[in-house]
Amino acid sequence: MADTDRNPWRRFLALPNESRTKTLAMAFLVSAACALMVSGATVLLRPIQAANRAAEEQARIESLVRGVPGMADLLEQSGGSLSTVVIALEDGRAAEDVTAATLDATLADTQNWTTLEQGADLAGLGQRPDYAQIFLLRQGEAISLVLLPMTGQGYGGRIDAILAIEGDMNTVAGIAITQHSETPGLGGRIEDPSWQASFPGTQLHDDAGNLRFATARGEASGIHQVDGITGATRTTRGISNMVNFWLGPDGYGPLLRAIERDEF
């Protein structure tokens, strides 16, 4: 009996079930155990979740490419897959020390982000990653299609998209909106195939090489425009700003120039 009295755990269990101390302590212990299990499950499931997100993104990319006229046959001829590469945005070259497998860890380091000056931050990002993963489709040695992930700010928040550009680095082949928070029935129509159908064939630059992409107020009236969405001016303006930023000097501009010079 004396040994039992000296054991704190046994003394605790011996308390009446109606004891407030015992009730609060047991509630705390159960909560702590549940928290530990949830944390453990999160750690264990994180790689699976990352793999699922990567698979979903790849499926969207494949769907986008297959929707481009003539690209489905080209995919079949090339084995139905795209090549991917991580580029350093500053010079548009393939990154030497960063791969698709290490990209997330690299971007977790704040030193691998560049703060954007207000006048240059068309997409409303605040800062831009120094590295990005892109996707290429080649026909022989020539690049026939490049897929560029983009991020910008719409009316409701962040918009993520993938823009497909043909091998001339000037003709839009298509767009896929992969994530957005826009208002259903208004800005949310950016995910509708009927609106996205206005992108293919759009010319990004004029004859002088100036970036001219824009969203119209209504239907597109020129080769550099895509349709606007009635009642969603801020959303479509966000799309225009996003594309113009990412195709400019602080985005994929150096990459596009390198591809045009057959240096990629």
| Residue 202, in any domain of the structure | yes
* Whether pLDDT at 87 is above 80: yes
The tens digit of pLDDT for each residue in 132-142 reads 999 888 877 78
Range of the domain at 171: 67-260
| Residue 52, in any domain of the structure | no
Q: Do 112 and 11 share a structural domain?
A: no
Q: Which of 170, 161, 181, 179 is nearest to 213 (CA)?
A: 170
Distances (CA, A) of 52 to 63, 133, 147, 231, 254: 16, 17, 20, 35, 31
Q: Do 115 and 23 share a structural domain?
A: no
Q: Do 147 and 35 share a structural domain?
A: no
CB 91 within 8 A of CB 263: no
The tens digit of pLDDT for each residue in 134-166 reads 988 887 778 888 989 999 999 989 999 889 898
What is the average per-residue pLDDT within 54-72? 64
Amino acid (one-letter) located at 178: T
Task: Report the percentage of the chain scoring pLDDT > 70.
Answer: 86
| Residue 208, in any domain of the structure | yes
Gap between the Cα atoms of 39 and 45, Å rounded: 10
- SS3 label, residue 206: coil
pLDDT for residue 1: 46
pLDDT for residue 52: 75
| Residue 250, in any domain of the structure | yes
pLDDT for residue 80: 53
| Residue 57, in any domain of the structure | no
- SS3 label, residue 242: helix
Task: Report the percentage of the chain scoring pLDDT > 90.
Answer: 40
Which residue in the block uniquely carries the two structure tokens 């928290």? 35
The residues, any chain, with a CB within 8 Å of residue 208's CB and separated by 6 or more, are none
pLDDT for residue 58: 66
The tens digit of pLDDT for each residue in 164-188 reads 898 899 999 888 888 899 888 888 9
Q: Do 76 and 42 share a structural domain?
A: no
Number of domains in the chain: 2
pTM over the 0.75 mark: no
Reported as a pLDDT band with limits 50, 70 and 90, residue 33 is: confident
Q: Do 205 and 77 share a structural domain?
A: yes
Q: Do 108 and 28 share a structural domain?
A: no
pLDDT for residue 113: 97
Q: Do 43 and 142 share a structural domain?
A: no
